[in-house]
Structure 1
Amino acid sequence: MGPIIGVLFDGFAYGMLLFLLSVGLSVTLGMMNFVNLAHCAFAMLGGYVTVTLVNTFGWPFLATLPMAFLAAAAVSVVLERTLYRRLYRASELDQVLLTIGLAFMSIATAAYIFGTILQPAATPAFLRGSVQYFGINFGVYRIFLIAVGLAVTLLLVLTLEYTRFGQQVRAAVDNQRMARGLGINVDGTFAVAFALGSGLAGLGGALAIEIVGLDPSFALIYLVYVLIVVSVGGLGSIWGSFVAAVLIGVSDIAGKYYVPQIGAFMIYLVMIVLLMWRPQGLFGKR
């Protein structure tokens, strides 16, 4: 049972990382009907903010996490105000072309500034190493990652389901004209929701450095994983993204551990099977 529990634990921790990276896209794509293929560029931005603050300015790793969130959120607000808002009613092709272009621009910019090598960011000593329970080693950083992922899930559910802001977001998504008639600032609500999703991506990018590393290709490599999570979970569903991220994370780790010959293909196999069963996603409504 030891190896099985270890695989499940590592897969769940990896799933929490995928959830942090993907839940913002689930919100913007599912609720705002905007195809943002530059989503992981915000995650990469958060990672490079952490790398810069840790390696250049000597900030503690944990102190950089809020800054990674805020930096990604701030840049997303600027882009939402200047570029994205113009395409809310445009075709999906126009949205894809703009956002994938921004993703390529972010990759080129990161490569020019930081180079193409992996960037390290030292974590505090208390997040390194492992603890042992019942003869099984559990990585401390992965425990921390799971705790952050669960806390973010709880906060998102409480925010979108039980607050006035969450009600305004759902109203604006369901019927913009009616929401405006009721006095809801639809543009402002969308901007805040967009910033929240992008900020979470920035946080995920900062947390990903210790697990998967950071280089300019991050914005495209993990875009594939994020799109898989959003597709499997269902558009606009936080719980769907959570469950899908865990399934994909465990499948990826288990595949690479037990069947390394096809391990990298395992997540695609899981995606195909689940989407054949539920084309709208596990928790999707459309």
Structure 2
Amino acid sequence: MTIFFDGVAFGMLLFLISVGLSVTLGLMNFINLAHGAFAMLGGYACVVLLNRYGVPFLATLPFAILIPALAGIVLERTLYRRLYAASELDQVLFSIGLVFMSVAAAHYFFGAQQQPLHLPAFLQGQIHLPGMDVGVYRLFLVIVGLVVALGLQWSIIKTSFGAKLRASVDNQRVARGLGIDVNRVFSLTFALGSALAGLGGAMGVEMLGLDPEFPVKYLVYFLIVVTVGGTGNILGSLYAAILLGVADVAGKYYIPQIGAFIIYAVMVAALIFRPHGLFGRSHN
């Protein structure tokens, strides 16, 4: 049960970082492989404020959300917007270029070493329950992940902004004819995806570590979550992240020789039976 809970917590962390990619890839139809760079930016914002300026951990999280969101708005308006109508290959090559630029920038400003993160005392330790030990910080991750998932699903399905976003994605010309500011909707959506990545990056420093190679090291994990869950499906990404998190942690614990292989085996099996993802819909 302890291993299962650790897997759920790891899955929640994957969800927090990946759900922003689900938003931009699934709802905006834009392949942003530089998504991990925004997560890394949130992580560095957290550790710099915590280690250099003594800002409490929880107080760093709003900055870890706001700074990537602002960076997302700037990049969307200056660079990404020019590629919305471009081919998938152009989008992939451009965003991969941004990944390596972000890696080089992180090396230059922060060095190649892993960044330390010291959690506050109330987030350390374990809660002993019958049959399992629950890490306090992992429980915190699970709670935050559930709140984000429910809030995001509600905002996309139930709010006027969500309706405007879906209309803008389906048909930009008609959306503009109805008075929707499509450019503003896309900017805000991209900022939302970047902000969620920053939050996940900050909260993931303790479990994943943080160094300049972060966007490359975990890119495949983020893509697997979005692909298995079904692009644009928020709850699908949540379920897929939990499934993959449990499979990854259990595999590395019980069969460490091939533990890292398990998550890829689960992905292959899921896509063989559900090519559009566990909760995706066929486009035919």
Q: What per-residue deviation string (whole Å, max 9, x for no partner) do you get for residues 66-90 of structure 1?
A: 1000000000100000000000000
Aligned residue in 2 for 1:113:
109
Aligned residue in 2 for 1:165:
161
Question: Match for 1:230: what amino acid?
Answer: V
Aligned residue in 1 for 2:96:
100
Aligned residue in 1 for 2:224:
228
Aligned residue in 1 for 2:129:
133
Per-residue deviation, 1:135: 4.7
Structure 1 runs of 4+ aligned residues shifted over 3 Å read: none
Aligned residue in 1 for 2:5:
9
Q: Matched residues in 2 for 1:193 and 1:31: separation?
A: 9
Q: Matched residues in 1 for 2:241 and 2:273: separation?
A: 17
* Matches for 1:28-47 after TM superposition, within 5 Å: 28-47=24-43
Q: 2:172 aligns with which of 176, 199, 203?
A: 176
Q: 2:278 aligns with which of 275, 282, 285?
A: 282
Aligned residue in 1 for 2:69:
73
Q: Matched residues in 1 for 2:69 and 2:218: separation?
A: 19
Q: 1:273 aligns with which of 259, 263, 269?
A: 269
Structure 1 residue matching 2:103: 3-state secondary structure = helix
Q: Matched residues in 2 for 1:24 and 1:185: separation?
A: 21
Is 2:51 the partner of 1:52?
no
Q: What per-residue deviation string (whole Å, max 9, x for no partner) do you get for residues 198-247 of structure 1?
A: 10000000000111110111111111100000110111000110011001
Q: What per-residue deviation string (whole Å, max 9, x for no partner) do you get for residues 237-283 of structure 1?
A: 00110011001100000100111111000000000000000100011
Q: Matched residues in 1 for 2:132 and 2:26: separation?
A: 39
Q: Matched residues in 1 for 2:229 and 2:273: separation?
A: 12
Q: Matched residues in 2 for 1:235 and 1:209: separation?
A: 26
Q: Is the 8 A contact 1:72 1:202 kept in 2?
A: yes
Aligned residue in 2 for 1:250:
246
Identity level (%): 63
Is 2:193 the partner of 1:197?
yes
> How well do the aligned residues superpose, as a CA RMSD in angstroms?
0.7
Aligned residue in 1 for 2:20:
24
Structure 2 residue matching 1:282: 3-state secondary structure = coil
**Which structure 1 residue ranges, 5 or more long, are not aligned?**
none
Q: Matched residues in 1 for 2:33 and 2:132: separation?
A: 39
Question: Match for 1:211: what amino acid?
Answer: M
Q: Matched residues in 2 for 1:135 and 1:104: separation?
A: 45
**Which structure 2 residue ranges, 5 or more long, are not aligned?**
none
Instruction: Give me the TM-score of the superposition, normalised by structure 1.
Output: 0.97
Q: Matched residues in 1 for 2:239 and 2:41: separation?
A: 26
